[in-house]
Structure 1
Amino acid sequence: MHLDELQWFVVLAETEHVTDAAAELGISQPTLSRALARLEEQVGVPLFDRVNRRLRLNAYGHILLEHARRSISEIRTATERIAELRDPDTGTVRLAFLHSQAGWYVPDLLRRFRTEAPRVRFGLFQGAAHEIVERLAGGEADLAITSPRPEGFRWRGLYMERLCLAVPREHRFARRSRIRLADAGAEPFVALAPDFGLRQLTDELCVEAGISPPVVFEAMEIPTMEGLVAAGFGVAVVPVPRPERAEPGAAYVPLSESSARRQIGLTWHADRPLPPAAARLAEFIMQNVHEFE
């Protein structure tokens, strides 16, 4: 069943006159009559009653007319949405990012980008690194801002985050200018859940330091960790926060290990071309890397 023939049928159903419908469509009467015959053969019933050499839409025809109008409308909408998606000025970008980037980096990035491309729309998702990779792999995200670098995807490093040990304000480590992770081996730790990238990095740093601290709570977000640290539940390895986002009840002591850092990067599917709007955002990010550090 061809879309053109469905559109012809709708016009014929509305006019109930072959000559008038053919003239409106700009096709010959025989062409329209053959198209109607094919359509009736496909559905298995006549769609019009022939009364005194005129057509009258019958009950079968009314059913097809209802669904034909709906189908044509849906296809037009889909075509318009595809055209918008292909337009770098009006398309939609599906962007995934880490929870830790939601507080400042991503909002600042999107605010600046929208001054350049105000009609681009966004579908946003924040989650753990493994959830972000799943979305990229499944085609549910175009771009992602994440860490660590996922295997099998394109990658552009954006900036480095130094890691520190968050401790309660009154803790004996709070006044130190720097600390070795090994010094905190006997402290209770608050950490992210095991499938988070930062937790995996924390575990690796603990192995390097030769410690195996007790984990008293596994959180889903860094602010939760920091809040529990401030409440005296333990210490935590977290990125050095921006001053305005620091937990007032916690002190942040830089870790002395050179490996105590993580790279935040932009990643996308290696074998799938980016939609134009997503490609435009990726180019904007890469051209302005240092503006967002």
Structure 2
Amino acid sequence: MELRQLQYFVRVARLQHVTKAAEELHVAQSAVSRQIHRLEEELGVHLFVQKGRNVQLTPVGQLFLRRAESLLTDLDRAVLEIQEFLDPEAGEIRLGFPHSLGYHLIPRVVAAFRKLHPNVKFRFRQGMYASLIRDVVDAEIDLAFISPHPDKHDHVTGEVVLTEELFAILPETHPLALEVSIDLAQLKDESFVLFSPGYSLRSLVWEACKNAGFTPRIGFESEETDTIRGLVAAGMGVSLLPEMALYQTSAMMPAVVKVKSPHVTRTIGLIRREGEKLPTVVQMFHSFLLDYFQNEYTPR
């Protein structure tokens, strides 16, 4: 079995099309078909079945794909580790984070790190709580900022690096918009603009409302902080957002009011795979982040 055969197989499996795979690999279609055929002969199974102009994995093909992808990922990481051993300053860091950290936090910490290590490359992946944990476990990313920080997980470990307060956001014409602080219960009759299901901030706001004695009535849902902020500014409802999501200014800005009861906060953690030694360049970044949040980070 050759490495080239695995690479061709994975590309065809992902695209479900031999011709498209050949184009991406910059080889002839016949070369791809020949290598796939040889691989099937060696394994003694059919990995694909024809489905119109496309191909589809057989059940055993699906099983083999998982193993092949894992092998190729391990090989890529091995090559990268050797390169980093020779020159850590030229390595790559794969970092995941939720959308709510993308505007303010991530650019700040990456810019601060790149001042010290200008040649280090970054590959970013945004996602929701569950997908970020899965990407860390599956070695798709090295580190992830995540909120809330998981109390316990069998396959990831990490630290809380930041605790952040959530504020009520209201249309500027709202009767409570000029208040210094409010009780969350004062918004019990309002329509809420919340994150879509699966986002941790939705669960956090929902739980805060329950603790205040009411179930929030949902008027709109969104996957983007900017959209939620804009909808509230346009008078479509109220919401709660973390302080970090309120630094950006635009023509459509809501009023921001402190919530005194219940006091609502979120934890932001930095997670990595349990029991695995980080590559040199990732360890450099990890140590930098822990020091940065302890000694240098300020909210604005």
TM-score normalised by the chain length of structure 1: 0.70
User: Corresponding residue for 1:9?
Assistant: none
> What residue identity is the alignment partner of 1:142?
D
Evaluate the alpha carbon distance shift between residue 233 and residue 84 of structure 1 in structure 2; reply closer, same or farther with a 3 A threshold: same
User: Corresponding residue for 1:104?
Assistant: 104
Q: Which has the larger radius of gyration?
A: 1
Mapped to 2, the partners of 1:237 and 1:272 lie a distance apart of: 37
> What residue identity is the alignment partner of 2:259?
L
Q: What is the CA deviation profile of residues 146-189 of structure 1, one whole-angstrom value per residue up to 9, with x for unaligned ones? A: 11112312222222211111100111110111111111010000
Write the mapping of 1:165-180 to structure 2, written as runs, cut at 5 A.
165-180=168-183
User: Corresponding residue for 1:17?
Assistant: none
> What residue identity is the alignment partner of 1:285?
L
User: Corresponding residue for 2:286?
Assistant: 282
Mapped to 2, the partners of 1:137 and 1:271 lie a distance apart of: 11
User: Corresponding residue for 1:27?
Assistant: none
Following TM superposition, where does structure 1 have runs of at least 4 consecutive aligned residues deviating by more than 4 angstroms?
76-80, 241-244
Deviation at 1:213, TM superposition (A): 2.1
User: Corresponding residue for 2:258?
Assistant: 254
Instruction: Say which SS state the counterpart of residue 161 (structure 1) adopts.
Output: strand
User: Corresponding residue for 2:274?
Assistant: 270
User: Corresponding residue for 2:198?
Assistant: 195
State whether residues 168 and 259 of structure 2, in contact with CA within 8 Å, keep that contact through their aligned partners in structure 1.
yes
231, 234, 259: which one pairs with 2:237? 234
Evaluate the alpha carbon distance shift between residue 81 and residue 174 of structure 1 in structure 2; reply closer, same or farther with a 3 A threshold: same
Instruction: Say which SS state the counterpart of residue 173 (structure 2) adopts.
Output: coil
Evaluate the alpha carbon distance shift between residue 227 and residue 121 of structure 1 in structure 2; reply closer, same or farther with a 3 A threshold: same
User: Corresponding residue for 1:131?
Assistant: 131
User: Corresponding residue for 1:292?
Assistant: 297
Write the mapping of 1:46-125 to structure 2, written as runs, cut at 5 A.
81-86=80-85, 87-125=87-125
Deviation at 1:140, TM superposition (A): 0.7
> What residue identity is the alignment partner of 1:183?
Q
State whether residues 178 and 253 of structure 1, in contact with CA within 8 Å, keep that contact through their aligned partners in structure 2.
yes
Mapped to 2, the partners of 1:78 and 1:128 lie a distance apart of: 24
TM-score normalised by the chain length of structure 2: 0.68
Instruction: Say which SS state the counterpart of residue 90 (structure 2) adopts.
Output: coil
Let me know the Cα RMSD of the aligned residues. Answer: 2.4
> What residue identity is the alignment partner of 1:89?
E
Segments of 5+ residues of structure 1 without an aligned counterpart are 3-75
> What residue identity is the alignment partner of 2:113?
F
Mapped to 2, the partners of 1:77 and 1:218 lie a distance apart of: 39
Deviation at 1:241, TM superposition (A): 4.2
Mapped to 1, the partners of 2:276 and 2:264 lie a distance apart of: 33
User: Corresponding residue for 1:29?
Assistant: none
Instruction: Say which SS state the counterpart of residue 175 (structure 2) adopts.
Output: coil
Deviation at 1:277, TM superposition (A): 1.0
Equivalent pairs counted in the alignment come to 221
Q: Does 1:157 align with 2:164?
A: no
User: Corresponding residue for 2:213?
Assistant: 210
Q: Does 1:222 align with 2:225?
A: yes
State whether residues 240 and 252 of structure 1, in contact with CA within 8 Å, keep that contact through their aligned partners in structure 2.
no
